[in-house]
A and B are shown apart, each in its own frame.
Chain A
Amino acid sequence: MTIRARWTSYWQATPLVVVLGIFFVLPLLVMLAVSFWTYTGYSIAPAFVTDNYRDAFDGCASQFPTLCTTFRTYASTLKFCVIVWALTLVIGFAIAYYLTFMIRSNTVRLMLALLCTIPFWTSNVIRMISWIPLLGRNGLVNQALVGAGFIHQPLDWLLYSDFSVILAFVHINTVFMIVPIANSMARIDRSLVEAAYDSGATGWQTLRHVIIPLAKSGIAIGSIFVITVVMGDFITIGLMGGQQIASAGKVIQTQISALQFPIAAANAIVLLAVVLMIIALLVRFIDIRKEL
């Protein structure tokens, strides 16, 4: 390679580097800097103090083993994260498997894949508001259940509850699992499945020893999508939880609306660190580079 050719590739990468630099790296650095600033009820000032981080974990050491507010909030967020991740993984994997291995016609596969994107045809907020007439005390589900005589009192855990939060999360995030998993499954040579069958593998054994290992990278990518979305969410948890459930994202949003930017920034950095640790853990198990 000549020197000139080597520089060419740098030039080609420049636009993306500029865009990412301005819109991603720079804001991140600003946030990092602001997290060390000081603030009062009506002003913020540049400084280099760690008070914001100390405040974020206020009382966490002294109250231990009782969980402080921050730890409780993270525990709650992580709980949603794990439940939603597990559900979207199982449902998404099943759908991806069905699309890839059970559907023979490419046209039908494409149509069904498009069906999976229907939840995205409306805005997130409208989509969540639409759950209310369905799941509310006098919603369709309760009316049907009462009308059919299954229950006498309407169920009140259908809406503004952990259940409704998880339902909305799973509803919107499953497609983020389906796409990467289906993509890695599509690369599995059909003759491998046949070879496993020829070697006496049952359906489950083929799944465990051939398909899951080969779909691993898709699973990892889907998991990263779902985990980052759920960990940072405050809208879904707010709307579907009736503003009664705390989440790491909700804390930051509350602080921002109180104009307490420095502590909001500190909390955001903590959240970022937590999410990065989860992803680092995932990547340790699975080599994602193979997929890219």
Chain B
Amino acid sequence: MALGEDGEARGKVEFVRVSKAYDGAIAVHDVDLRIPAGCYCCLLGPSGCGKSTSLRMLAGHEIATSGDILLDDRNVTLLPPARRSTSMMFQSYALFPHLTVAENVAFALRMRGVGKAERLGRAREMLKLVDLSALSERRPAQLSGGQQQRVALARALITSPSVLLLDEPLSALDPFLRLRVRAELKRLQKALGISFVHVTHSQDEALALSDLVVLMNAGRIEQQGTAEDLFSRPRTAFVARFIGAHNVIDLGDRAVAVRTDRTAVLPASGVSRFADGDVGRMARPAVVRAVEYAGTGFAVHLVDEGGAELSALMSEGDFHRAAIGEGESVVASWAPADAHALEGGAI
């Protein structure tokens, strides 16, 4: 397994005005999406936002109500899964409990009528790739969650797909394993030179992995771009809130997003300290609701006079200097340059 024959990246995906309706309820609404070849793309969003449905339409397990889906410039909208050169890794891994690890991996080849010796040989090679050679004769029930996940990965990759579809692949793993597997997925995607489309509701995962983040909400794409784009230039209040580490501040005529680590908090009595060179800072009086130790600093949660919630991530030094306690009146402030204007207000 390496890059395609000519070493070119594969797996260019296009959604052209794709919609999906179930009995009148619209799950995906007029989605336009372009995923370049060899791209790690995360579909991100809260439950019910249409990300899984989009993935399943790309996989061929759901058929789009309208619109077209193209894969490497081939219209695959109506093709069955096995003829799309996609491959899906299921959330629960969906390993066949009655088959050994090697037989699981070789399943797609068996369905194509590949002879036993050849398919098991290729399964073994694939298991070597995911470092599971020693366990090829075990049953899935005898494996740990992480091992099962790698079997599922090997099974999905044995058909050399152009696009690997991953439905919440890390959700069943413990946090430590999650980080390790995350790195492994990214490495594998680069090595194979194919596209990975990864559905998740974890913004951490999406930011860490993605070349392209697609944030969905209520069946539409709210914003797409690099992880940095989304984080530093959230388009709407929804994006800023979902991606986290942002305050959405309603300024009456408009709304802005300010990163929590660029939001400063000072005791109300100490406002005069803004004098030294910080003229023009935006400020907002608030009351401290809670303080949490966040390891890299302190997260200070505030409620302003209008009842809106704000947070500030303060370094340990700043926090101790400011000497802030719960229930205290403070002033939250930010530099106008750090305020990023949001479309559509604070809702």
Contact = CB atoms under 8 A, between A and B. Distances in A.
Interface of A: 189, 191-192, 194-202, 205, 209-210, 213-214
A242 to B, nearest CB: 46
Contact of B61 (A197, A205, A209, A210): A197
A199 B61 contact: no
B281 to A, nearest CB: 53
A191 B94 contact: yes
B71 to A, nearest CB: 15
Contacts of B111: 196, 199-202, 205, 209
Contacts of A199: 82, 107-108, 111, 155, 159
24 contacts: A189-B94, A191-B90, A191-B91, A191-B92, A192-B94, A195-B94, A195-B96, A196-B107, A196-B111, A198-B59, A198-B81, A198-B87, A199-B82, A199-B111, A199-B155, A199-B159, A200-B81, A200-B83, A200-B111, A201-B82, A205-B111, A209-B96, A210-B96, A214-B98
Of the candidates A192, A200, A209, A214, the one having the most CB atoms from chain B within 10 angstroms of its own CB is A200
B198 to A, nearest CB: 16
B273 interface: no
Given A200-B81, A200-B82, A195 B90 contact: yes
Contacts, number: 58
B90 A194 contact: yes
Interface string B52-77: 00000001110000000000000000
Contacts of A192: 94, 96
Given A195-B88, A199-B111, A205-B111, 5 more contacts: A191-B94, A195-B155, A198-B60, A198-B82, A209-B110
B112 interface: yes
A25 B59 CA distance: 58
Q: Max chain B CB contacts within 10 Å: which of A192, A202, A214?
A: A192
B97 interface: yes
Nearest to A199: B108
A210 B97 CA distance: 9
Contact of A194 (B94, B97, B108): B94
Contacts of B92: 189, 191
A202 B110 CA distance: 12
B80 interface: yes
Of the listed residues A191, A195, A197, A200, the one surrounded by the most CB atoms of chain B closer than 10 A to its CB is A195
Contacts of B82: 197-201
Contact of B112 (A191, A200, A210): A200
Contact of A213 (B59, B81, B83, B98): B98
A210 B96 CA distance: 7
